[in-house]
């Protein structure tokens, strides 16, 4: 069944615009995979690679290690500092 598996992997790497994706990040530090052929939405900026969905997800997995939004991390840091 290798051919079916290869086909399935390729289809996961495709978007409505083809097979090229971007990695986006917002002000809260949250990341997203985005089709390269679609304008970047307001509030988001390009970071990382341009490539297959698999490459973009790998970048996100290795760079977005704390899923908490920046505002929550700041609030939690403030609480810890105020106790000290």
Question: Which residues lie below 8 Å from residue 65, measured CB to CB, with a gap of 6+?
Answer: none
pLDDT at residue 16 in the model:
57
pLDDT at residue 78 in the model:
75
- Class for the domain spanning 2-83: alpha beta
Render pLDDT for 5-33 as a digit per residue (tens, 0 to 9): 555 555 555 555 568 999 999 999 999 99
pLDDT at residue 19 in the model:
81
Q: What is the arithmetic mean of pLDDT over 48-61?
A: 95
pLDDT at residue 4 in the model:
54
* Per-domain residue ranges of the chain: 2-83
More confident residue, 7 or 71: 71
CB 44 within 8 A of CB 55: no
């Amino acid at each position: 069944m290798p051919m079916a598996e290869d086909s399935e992997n390729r289809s996961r790497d495709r978007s409505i615009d083809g097979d090229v994706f971007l990695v986006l990040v917002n002000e809260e530090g949250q990341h997203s995979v985005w089709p390269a052929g679609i304008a970047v939405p307001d509030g988001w900026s390009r970071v990382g690679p341009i490539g297959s969905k698999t490459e973009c997800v790998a970048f996100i997995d290795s760079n977005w290690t704390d899923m908490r939004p920046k505002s929550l991390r700041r609030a939690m840091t403030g609480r810890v500092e105020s106790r000290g």
